[in-house]
């Protein structure tokens, strides 16, 4: 079990003092370059420990080209997509009001290896420049999940914690990294099972479901790990 710290700077004691954005993209494919783009963004905001808003926005693309696998996994229906989709500029502007808020901590599941890149592809598609200024306020729950299951302690200060997240997000237990530690399964479903959080496969990868489950996993992990206010770049 990961060592506990009784210090009052632990995030579990201070979570209600911060504002959070938890979000997730559904995309055409798993490609990190080229023409891949998000067609749905689900996100919630949390203040004072309570969910203050939730949004499930569908993004209209004339040239949408969703892969067969992505359509199957997300139960994509083109007729429903046409009815609910909105202008990509409008959705981006409203979402970025939250994402780039300097007082908001951004929560994702595998965001450091996927969602953050898809966000830049979305911006590029609309003729906007690259903007990574939201990144230092980001916490990847997949990273915390790996650390928890591997019984790894996060470093103490923000700069080391930020680099540690990227290192663990790209951790491979094979000869390329000469690692002797096996990488445990840390899918969202696996972590919900691990932490006794109810998970419905029939709702996964749809709408806000993954966002809510990511937030629930985060709340459980900060009770079990030494995540502190020093790890927040606020």
Compare 32 and 123 and report the one with higher pLDDT: 123
Both tokens assigned to 217: 């996993």
Q: Is the pLDDT of residue 176 over 70?
A: no
Task: Answer yes or no: are the C-beta atoms of 169 and 183 closer than 8 Å.
Answer: no
User: How much is the average pLDDT of 146-170?
Assistant: 92
Per-residue model confidence as pLDDT tens digits over 42-59: 999 999 999 999 999 999
Instruction: Determine the Cα–Cα distance for residues 95 and 79; give it in Å rounded to an integer.
Output: 24
- What's the predicted TM-score (pTM) here? 0.91
Q: What are phi and psi of 55, to 5 degrees?
A: -140, 135
Q: With the C-alpha atoms ordered 3, 153, 143, 207, is the resulting torsion angle positive or negative? A: positive
Fold (CATH) for 11-231: Nucleotidyltransferase; domain 5 (3.30.420)
pLDDT at 181: 62
Q: Is the pLDDT of residue 5 over 90?
A: no
Both tokens assigned to 191: 């972590």
Compare 156 and 19 and report the one with higher pLDDT: 19
Per-residue model confidence as pLDDT tens digits over 101-130: 999 999 999 999 999 999 999 999 999 999
Q: Where do the DSSP E strands lie in the chain?
A: 19-27, 38-47, 50-59, 85-86, 104-108, 138-140
Chain-centroid distance, C-alpha 105: 11
Domain edges within the chain: 11-231
In DSSP notation, 49-78 reads TEEEEEEEEEE--TT----HHHHHHHT--H
Mean pLDDT score of the chain: 91
């Amino acid at each position: 079990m990961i060592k506990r710290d009784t210090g009052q700077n632990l995030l579990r004691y201070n979570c209600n003092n911060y504002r959070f954005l938890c979000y997730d993209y559904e995309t055409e494919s798993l490609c990190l370059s080229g023409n891949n783009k998000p067609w749905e963004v689900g996100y919630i905001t949390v203040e004072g420990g309570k969910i203050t808003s939730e949004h499930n926005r569908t993004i209209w693309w004339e040239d949408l080209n969703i892969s067969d696998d992505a359509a199957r996994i997300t139960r994509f229906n083109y007729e429903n997509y046409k009815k609910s989709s909105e202008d990509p500029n409008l959705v981006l502007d409203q979402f970025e009001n939250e994402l780039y808020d300097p007082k908001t901590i951004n929560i994702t599941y595998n965001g450091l290896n996927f969602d953050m890149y898809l966000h830049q592809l979305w911006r590029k598609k609309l003729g906007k420049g690259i903007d990574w200024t939201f990144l230092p306020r980001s916490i990847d729950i997949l990273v915390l999940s790996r650390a928890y299951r591997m019984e790894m302690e996060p470093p103490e200060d923000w700069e080391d914690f930020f680099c540690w997240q990227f290192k663990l997000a790209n951790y491979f237990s094979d000869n390329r990294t000469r690692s002797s530690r096996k990488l445990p399964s840390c899918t969202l479903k696996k972590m919900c099972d691990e932490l006794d959080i109810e998970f419905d496969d029939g709702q996964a990868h749809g709408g806000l479901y993954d966002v809510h489950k990511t937030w629930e996993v985060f709340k459980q992990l900060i009770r079990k790990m030494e995540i502190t206010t020093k790890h927040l770049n606020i």
